Amino acid sequence: MIANIRQYQTENLFLLMGGNPLPNYIAAISLLNPKGKALLLHTSQTQLQAQRLQNVLSKYQSFATALLIDIGKLQADSYAIYQAVKQVANSLKTSVGLNYTGGTKAMSVHAYRAITDIHPNAVCSYLDANTLEMYFDSNEQNSDRLKVLPKLSLAELFELHGLIWRSHPIDSPVLPDLATQFA
């Protein structure tokens, strides 16, 4: 285990969008430097999830506006994935990271390849949903890992999943004794 996630934070973080934007939110909040930019690689099927994540991240004044990278319906096309990521990665002059928790297997493999071809010192990571540990890749030793527990409001969770409130949530317990018994 490592002590501090800051050593793995980058200015630019590629995130591969899947159907659930929550792991990418956790990766962005944990792995982006202040003023960092999320680079959201998505397909036509995950465009809405990417837009929702972009919107939630825009509310954090410390981050730059997330960039959407659309590969359309080419989620399994190795050349299309590699070229889309390579084009963006070539323009980056500061630190680069990749979190490959989301997206398709093909997106993971070919985005990883494109990024590490251009930025050999890129910080590559994976969030294990079972343990909430972020694994950091290494070819020389076992992967470093760190428990991540970022703050997430219920409003942000709803927004990430495109849900809306029917009525404003109540901030205080209605039946505290019953809640205590349930707990």
114-172 pLDDT tens trace: 999 999 999 999 999 899 999 999 877 788 889 998 888 888 888 888 888 777 777 77
Averaged pLDDT score across all residues of the chain: 92
pLDDT tens by residue, 79-103: 999 999 999 999 999 999 999 999 9
Report yes or no: 124 and 137 within 8 Å, Cβ to Cβ: yes
Q: What is the dihedral of CA 8, 14, 16, 22, to 10 degrees?
A: 60
* pLDDT number for residue 104: 93
pLDDT interval class at 1 (50, 70, 90)? very low
Instruction: Summarize pLDDT for 15-31 with one digit per residue, the tens.
Output: 999 999 999 999 999 99
Cβ atoms within 10 Å of 121's Cβ, excluding its own? 8
Q: What does the pLDDT read at residue 2?
A: 46
Three-class SS of residue 7? Answer: helix
Beta strands in 48-143 (DSSP E): 67-70, 96-99, 123-128, 133-136
With a cut of 50, say whether residue 109 has pLDDT above it.
Answer: yes
